[in-house]
Amino acid sequence: MKLTGRDWLMAAGGMALIGLLALGSEKGRGKNVPLDERHKPLYDAMKTGRTQAATELVCATCHGQSSIPLPDKHPPKEQCLICHLFRAST
């Protein structure tokens, strides 16, 4: 099959669409868990095989009502790690 200019256009269009979809699914998700000295222990915990649920309990010790409140319009907030991903590389 010979690729015509129109085929390339279609391919480019498809790519753009996929890119847009990927962007859309990024929205509604919070930022990644920062990789700083406060959150490093959590990264380590996950690496040593602690479950996600157990790790999420720890989030609440700092991100609670008192110390570091979540933004007002924060979505329902169980299971932090569904939305706030751990950075891939540690």
Q: Is 14 in the site for ligand HEC (CB under 6 A)?
A: no
- Give the residue, chosen from 53, 68, 87, 90, that forms a contact with ligand HEC under the rule CB under 6 A: 68
- Give the residue, chosen from 40, 47, 50, 74, that forms a contact with ligand HEC under the rule CB under 6 A: 74
Question: What is the DSSP track for 10-54?
Answer: HHHHHHHHHHHHHHHHHTTS-PPBP-STTTHHHHHHHHTT--HHH
Q: How far, in Å, CA of 60 to CA of 49, rounded?
A: 20
The binding site for ligand HEC (CB under 6 A) comprises 28-31, 33-34, 36, 38-39, 42, 55-56, 58-63, 68, 70-71, 73-75, 77, 79-84
